[in-house]
Chains A and B, each alone.
Chain A
Amino acid sequence: MRRKPGTLLPLEFDILEAGIGLERFHGFQLAKALADQSGPRRLTAHGTLYKALQRLEDGGLLSSQWEDPEVAAAEGRPRRRLYQVTGLGEQALSASRASPGVTRPRPRLGPA
């Protein structure tokens, strides 16, 4: 989907909004939150979700790091990549909410 510079795609808007509520989150947790946020719906597709996360991180709206491997090993699961909305991400979200004419989130998110 093409966008105007400085605007958020609907999925990006949803991710930032959900991310602020979750503080630190991993991919599946976010997919669950996005699904719960707008009623019963499918989880966001892998490719769509992780591509959007990387795009937001490249733009400085999210930051991420791998969790401590010892924590993951203690719980017997793979390491999680933990994301966090940055100050820039919060600003972008606020601007997107305030500015008229910017792309608004759709009621239901499909694969982008």
Chain B
Amino acid sequence: MSAADRAAALVSWWVATYTRQLPGEVGERRRAEIASDLWEHRSAGRQDRTAAILVAWSILWRMAAGMPADLRWRSGQLAAAHRAPPPERERWLLQALARNWWLVLAGLVGMTEVVVGAAIVLGAATATGTGPTERAGPTVGGGILILGAGLIVLLGILWRRRSPNAGMVLIVAGAIPALLLSPWSFPLAVVVVAGLAFVLTVRAGGRDARGRSAPQLAMRLGSHATALSVLYLVLAGRVPVWPGLALLGLLAVGYGLRRRDRPT
């Protein structure tokens, strides 16, 4: 192996290094082009009867002088790859999530109420050993109320397909008890506020139950209310800082998804 061949091998290693993790076709093209260049360079050196050490020096100089450009190019390619639009299926999922994220929250509220309500009822029953007693009566009653509220929320979600207006009323009504469960459930007021805004907008002459104006207003009001309530809870020390910040982060992601979904 001549000095020129060793220099070419070193360049190939460098190219393989800086094209690592780049999109397949991009990296492959650069590696193939440099491989061709290296071959032509050595071939030209042989034809011109240039000493192998001088060809090697020229190859190494070209590598070293081009390193900053190589790194900038790599950085640009990585950035372009991250900016690339997601695949069709992923984009569809993101758009669906951006449109329906508050419905997901409503589902969470409903399921939380069902689980908490059921736990209260079962807990009361276990505590007495034989079932609800006179002493456990109010607790069981509260549990049943919360459980029923959760079922109403879930029913409202299903009902929206048939009658969006009626579905929203059910969701709003069913979500109200969630506000009383704990400080943690307070941010979930987004569902209530969003649903309320939706109903009011439709009643006030918003386009129609499936129209865009009502849900958009509902989402805007709901997300603002949630962000403010989470901020309030964090600042007031009602919830620990880090989980509160995590919630705010989730809301920021929601905002980002909505902006991404917005037509340009």
Contacts and interface: CB of A to CB of B under 8 A. Distances in A.
Interface of A: 26-29, 31-32, 42-51, 54, 66, 77-81, 110-112
Tell me what chain B mostly uses at the interface: helix, strand, loop, or mixed: helix
B128 to A, nearest CB: 75
B208 interface: no
A28 B70 CA distance: 17
Given A43-B58, A45-B63, A45-B66, A51 B39 contact: no
Nearest to A110: B65
A112 B32 contact: no
5 contacts: A26-B36, A27-B36, A43-B41, A45-B64, A45-B66
Given A50-B33, A78-B35, A81-B32, 10 more contacts: A28-B37, A28-B44, A43-B62, A45-B61, A46-B11, A46-B34, A48-B66, A51-B69, A77-B36, A110-B65
Contacts of B260: none
A49 B40 CA distance: 15
A26 B58 CA distance: 18
B70 A47 contact: yes
B259 interface: no
Interface residues of B, number: 29
B38 to A, nearest CB: 8
B69 A45 contact: yes
Interface of B: 11, 15, 29-30, 32-37, 39-41, 43-44, 58, 61-73
Nearest to A112: B69
Contacts of B72: 51
B73 A46 contact: no
A49 B66 CA distance: 8
Kindly list the 7 A-B residue pairs having the minimum CB-CB distance in the complex, ordered from nearest: A47-B66, A45-B66, A47-B69, A45-B65, A28-B40, A47-B70, A111-B65
Contacts of B70: 46-47, 51
Contacts of A45: 61-66, 69
B65 A28 contact: no
